[in-house]
Amino acid sequence: MKKNLIILSLLVFTLTFTSCNNYGTKLMFDETELYYTKDITEDEANDIGKYLQEIGFTEGDEKTVQIAKDGDTYLFRMVVKESFIDDDEYEEIAYLFIHNLSADVLENNPVELQMCDEELKTLKTIKMDDAQEIIEDDYKIKTFDGTEIEYDNTVKYNEVDKLGNFLMETGFTDGTVKSIIFVKDKKTYVFKMVVDEASWTDLEYQDLGKEYARQMSSTIFNNNDVEIHFCNDYFEVQTKVKP
């Protein structure tokens, strides 16, 4: 999940390094320090940093990550609290994150995420093969002009295509990285999106959501029920709207 995944609760639990050892060349992206080693080109590091900005990773508290390489495998190394090392939900988010990073930035090359302590010692490694297994068993992802639609087996593949084309035609997609979740609950199509907190209770924004749901229903879903869920960064539902 975006991605915005989303976009990520990964960003919430990071810490800064406690010392200034040689972690590589340092770049800054908002409040995030990104170090890259000699195996990584400056262009690759900048592409990764810009991607982290697009998905909201760099927002909020200070964070530190390192990008390295082991053979053909990119290593995304980040400092986390030890209490989250064995957190299953956190791990699944990490799986999705490295899958998206590989697909969106690193030309589908393998990526590992290494959870580290404050001295950048690896505590746990999450590998691409494990990530692919999780994704296949849970959510699948299809991208339309930068917008990732995450969906499960409650919806059909052609329905995902219809939704993606609709989002492009209506201007929802604009080439920037976004994520939505698309599922079906009984007979109702559910469209989940991350919005800012002020919009959760904004009546005018809710009216726009209702109209968008009405258009989805009549244009692509044969007048079946559609709900739009306004969510926080963790895709926890805050407000539900429907025509």
- Could you state, in order of their start, the residue ranges of all structural domains in the chain? 3-137, 140-241
Question: What does residue 192 show for φ and ψ, rounded to 5 degrees?
Answer: -105, 135
What ranges in the chain are assigned the alpha helix state H?
A: 42-54, 88-104, 128-137, 157-169, 203-220
Domain 3-137, CATH among 1.10.3470, 3.10.450, 3.30.300, 3.30.70: 3.30.300
Taking CA atoms, 48 is separated from 54, 82, 105, 162, 196, in Å, by 10, 25, 7, 30, 24
- What is the residue whose two structure tokens read 């052609």? 158
pLDDT in tens, the chain (243 residues): 444 343 343 443 445 554 445 789 999 998 888 999 999 999 999 999 998 887 777 877 778 889 999 999 999 998 887 777 777 767 777 887 887 788 788 988 999 999 888 778 888 898 877 654 455 446 678 889 989 898 887 888 789 999 999 999 999 999 888 889 999 998 999 999 999 999 999 999 999 999 999 999 999 999 999 999 999 887 889 999 999
Whole-model pTM: value is 0.56
Lookup: tokens for 135: 């994704």
